[in-house]
Amino acid sequence: MAQATRKKPVAKIAGAAVSTRIAAQSHFRTLRLGTPLQPRIDALAKTQDWYNWAGYRAPHSLWDEELEYFAIRSQAALFDISPMTKYRIEGPDAEALLNRVTLRDVTKLKSGRVHYTAWCDDEGFVLDDGTLFRLSPSHFRLCSQERHLPWLLDSAVGFDVIVEEETEAVAGLALQGPTSFAVLRDAGFAGVEKLKIFDLADFPHDGGTVTVSRTGFTGDLGYELFVPADKALSLWDRLMTSGEPRGIRAIGYTALNRARLEAGLIVANADFTTAEHAIRADRLRMPDEIGLGFMIDLEKGHFNGRRAILEARAKRKLRYVLVGLEIEGNIPAEHAIVYHRKAQEVGLVSAAMWSPMAKRNIAIASLARPYGDTMVEDLWVEIYAMRELQYQKLMKRAKVVARPFIKLDRRTANPPADF
């Protein structure tokens, strides 16, 4: 009896502890998280075509991927970029830390500006690429594909700086396309016309602030908007309302992926394997091997990977090159093998499409040097076109061409045009 009375409260406490624990572990009940904008996305998701973006339920398409693509190029497209990994890096040493971590010279990035950058491990292999927003002299936002908090925190040893993940706290929206400026202006973002490409500024919204930058992943006129998660839905509604007369459409990733390919932009873990994901030693890539060599600033002082990059350059240890290809015909060469003289395998296409804007069959490919570097003649791609349960093997000539594949004046025009 005495035993029973002693046991009872213990069991009660244990039961309470277990239920608290289970409550705190509800993450497994939702295998793909929703973003702060999920209610609006879900309402528009006619295709129910989802994919996993960094743990979030993100749409491949919402209603029609072709028309979604054309919304980017001829109207205004709204794309939820909330799942993008975002870090707040703030403090007196924020600039110094980012200068040590990333490739480009952060001292040259003025307050109110954004630049595209990348960062490497000690061996000079690319950990990720991303965009760095300088919100104030001592406050930055780093956006990227992969997660890097341990790396950033370990990098911050010896720096007076705060590094904090803000992926969940901050929602993001990309508004891209020729009418995007007009949509913003009509939504009441007074002064947004002053933003030049890669500029950013704060605007009032719903009793709070939204940070608008003239940036994007489409090669088109466009903006990215960052807002506290609880103001995300009102921002969406504000843009959708003002954009309606100008053909604003919500889009999924497939459409965006086409636009970015035309713009010649690369995607981490699609066009190259990031260093922390690569299992095979020959999958690691240095910036010079994926077309990011232009970011490397050897004059700015030490940065992660500098020694290894210098050595690879000096000892000619760079083994790959990432190129743009123009392929004859109109069949997309997705994941096609690249040959030299139709015989020797020299690389692989990582992204390909028929470009409606360029009216060319374009691709991004990684080749083993010297092919694509000094040897650019006589390159071919082998396309396997499935035609009613039979492969039609096509050997098509490929020409190394400059990226971007399309250049739109409206992307950089000042003031932005009113369509």
Residue bearing tokens 């030490």: 302
| Binding residue for another protein, selected from 310, 395, 402, 413, defined by CB under 8 A | 310
Nearest in space to 179 (alpha carbons), one of 139, 222, 216, 145: 222
Residues 6+ apart with CB under 8 A from 11: none
List the one residue out of 179, 173, 176, 178 whose CA is nearest residue 205: 173
Q: Which is nearer to another protein, 237 or 311 (CB)?
A: 311
Closer by beta carbon to another protein, 308 or else 401: 308
Task: Report d(CA 119, CA 254) in Å as an integer.
Answer: 26
**Residue 125 CB, nearest approach to another protein (Å):** 11
Of 306 and 360, nearer to another protein (C-beta) is 306
Q: At its nearest, how many Å lie between another protein and the CB of residue 141?
A: 20
Q: How far is the CB of 315 from another protein (least distance, A)?
A: 11
**Spatial CA neighbour of 251 closest among 342, 160, 177, 346:** 177
What is the spatial distance between Cα 267 and Cα 126, in angstroms, rounded to a whole number? 12
- In whole angstroms, give the CA distance from residue 231 to residue 264: 33
- Please report whether residue 274 would count as binding another protein according to CB under 8 A: no
151 or 371: whose CB is closer to another protein?
151
* Nearest residue to 199 (alpha-carbon basis) of 210, 211, 187: 211
Among 145, 155, 179, 211, binds another protein (CB under 8 A): 155
Q: Return left, alpha or beta for 401; rule: phi > 0 is left, psi -120 to 50 is alpha, else beta.
A: beta
Question: Shortest approach of another protein to residue 163 CB, angstroms?
Answer: 12
Residue 158 sits in the site that holds another protein (CB under 8 A): yes
Query: Is 302 one of the binding residues for another protein (CB under 8 A)?
Result: yes
Provide the phi-psi class of 411: left if phi over 0, else alpha when psi is between -120 and 50, else beta: alpha
Q: How many residues bind another protein (CB under 8 A)?
A: 20
The per-residue b/e assignment along 212-241, b for 16 or more CB within 10 angstroms, e otherwise, is bbbbbbbbbbbbbbbbbbebbbebbebbbe
Kindly indicate which of the ranges 3-11, 37-45, 197-205, 298-306 contains the residues binding another protein, using the contact rule CB under 8 A: 298-306
Minimum CB distance to another protein smaller for 54 or for 96: 96
State which residue, 97 or 256, has the beta carbon closest to another protein: 97
- The reply to whether 154 sits near another protein by the rule CB under 8 A is yes
- Pick 159 or 253: Cβ nearer another protein: 159
Residues 6+ apart with CB under 8 A from 371: 321, 338, 340, 346, 347, 379
Q: Does 122 bind another protein (CB under 8 A)?
A: yes
Candidates 57, 306, 340, 360: give the one binding another protein (CB under 8 A): 306
- Strands of the 208-213 sheet, one edge to the other: 200-205, 208-213, 222-228, 170-176, 76-80, 248-250
Residues 79-118 that bind another protein (CB under 8 A): 96, 100-101
Stretch of 34-42, 197-205, 246-254, 305-313 contacting another protein, by CB under 8 A: 305-313
Question: Which residues contact another protein (rule: CB under 8 A)?
Answer: 96, 100-101, 121-123, 151, 154-155, 157-159, 298, 301-302, 304-307, 310
